[in-house]
Amino acid sequence: MTTLDTPAAQPAAPDERDLALWPASTGKLPGGDLSVGGVPLAAVADRFGTPVYVLDEEEVRARCRLYRHAFPGAEVFYAAKAFLSRAMVHWADEEGLGLDVCSAGELELAVTAGFPPENIVLHGNAKSPQDLDTALRLGVGRIVIDSPSEIARLAAALGPDGRQKVMVRVAPGISAGGHEKIRTGTEDQKFGLAISDGSAQHAIARLLDRRPRLELTGLHCHLGSQIASVKPYATAVRRMVGLMARIRDSHGVTLPELDIGGGHAIAYHPGERALDITALARTVRTALEDGCAAARLPVPRLLVEPGRAVVGPAGIALYRVLAVKRTGEQVFVAVDGGMSDNPRPALYGVRYTPRLVGRRPTAAPRPVTVVGRHCEAGDVLAAGAGLPGDIRPGDLLALPAAGAYHLSMASGYNLVGRPPVVAVTEGHARLLVRRESLADFRTRDVGL
């Protein structure tokens, strides 16, 4: 057994504040384990192995309903890039949400799982011919135009008798988001068309000239991710309404829809601020109504696209500890996953709040660095994490707020294999996505 010396500085022991990051169904069990959806996490790890993603179905559904209630009369589209599976498609559909997809792959999976294509929006800054052809073949509801070249390509793909509803993605010149790599509302990144240089207005004029084959239904913007304040959204609404008024004045066209995207922040650490969805809805609605009244425009139908805020807090990642060692002043706890199943720490510097589950510790907590198994020094899941001083190989660690951008961004690095996804609800666990196996890697490698 490996134990750790007690350091001078000790972080606070896990307490009830930590459970604020967990699904509402989380409960403490005798012996130090936790249950989610009525299922002990240690039992999930024993049955399905580790690493494994656990997803609380009722938490996902409750968050879908939260958006429906907060935005009455609006269309809520779940951003599938956060996490997508056939089960997630059904949950979103049953809870009355549409889908926002970014590729032919996401679109095909959704439609073949039974999701109505007319309730799907296709995004992407560089849509491939396959993306557009698949969208037209399956009858996707809206396609968001992200560059001038897409207009001609889409018109050509439609043919003389085709019809397609489209929106234009606008970069409103607003910097918001938790990291520079996930800020998408400024004019110096790859998404959207700027207002300031006339790019957005030019694309809109071209689309209006191509009616009725391309029906421009409205404008779209997305400011970024992990936005914890409502203020950027109010600013975006005002700028977008101003553009809609100029479109009316220049072309005599009143656009009926406005999509303000998503990017709503969740908490990854105790005390970290999440975006208040009720306050967001109230602020956006006020800004929209006031802006339209001032511009003498009818209030457009509102569209919103949450992803992380729907599935992120519903997920837990479970890992087994493989090794514990001291290097200089650092103590490293290495687990059986890492950057191949969660690249976000390496990409954005994100850090999680791991917790020992499955047994009750006998030593005080101390700061450690939780690292992955991959051949990269940057494969770090949590730095300065407070874990018990008797942490040892074989222990089970759980990372809450792990439902978004884990499986969807997972890779085949070191040919480790992507983890499975297990849904828990009402005391039952079921496999949604199986573990990627060595046989999967061999099957894809077809050449010698």
Q: What is the pLDDT tens value at each position of the chain, 448 positions in all?
A: 333 333 333 333 345 556 889 999 999 999 999 999 999 999 999 999 999 999 999 999 999 999 999 999 999 999 999 999 999 999 999 999 999 999 999 999 999 999 999 999 999 988 999 999 999 999 999 999 999 899 999 999 998 888 999 999 998 877 555 445 444 444 555 678 988 888 899 999 999 988 888 999 999 999 888 899 999 999 999 999 999 999 999 999 999 999 999 999 999 988 888 999 999 999 999 999 999 999 999 999 999 999 999 999 999 999 999 999 998 888 999 999 999 999 988 888 888 999 999 999 999 999 999 999 999 989 999 999 999 999 999 999 999 999 999 999 999 999 999 999 999 999 999 999 999 999 999 999 998 8
Peptide bond into 51 cis (omega under 30): yes
Outline where DSSP puts E strands in 277-404: 301-304, 315-327, 330-335, 355-357, 365-371, 380-388, 396-400
* pLDDT of amino acid 197: 86
Q: Go through the domains of the chain in sequence order and give each one's CATH number.
A: 16-56+313-444 (2.40.37.10), 57-310 (3.20.20.10)
Per-residue pLDDT at 16: 55
Among candidate residues 64, 102, 221, 375, the one labeled active-site is 375
Asked if 127 contacts 146 with a C-beta cutoff of 8 angstroms, the reply is yes
Residue 262 and residue 307 in contact, taking contact as beta carbons nearer than 8 Å: yes
What sign has the CA pseudo-torsion 373, 377, 383, 386? positive
Q: What pLDDT shows up at residue 3?
A: 34
Partners of 425 in the β-ladder: 428
What are the tokens at 317? 């990642």
DSSP symbols for 371-415? E-SSS-TT-EEEEEEEEETT--TT-EEEEES-SSSSGGG---GGG
| Burial call 59-94: b when 16+ CB within 10 Å, e when fewer | bbbbbbebbeebbeebbbbbbbbbbbbebbbebbbe
Q: ω before 212 within 30° of 0 (cis)? A: yes
The confidence score (pLDDT) of residue 5 equals: 35
Tell me what pLDDT residue 182 has. 45
- Give dist(CA 223, CA 206) in Å, integer: 24
Active site residue 375: yes
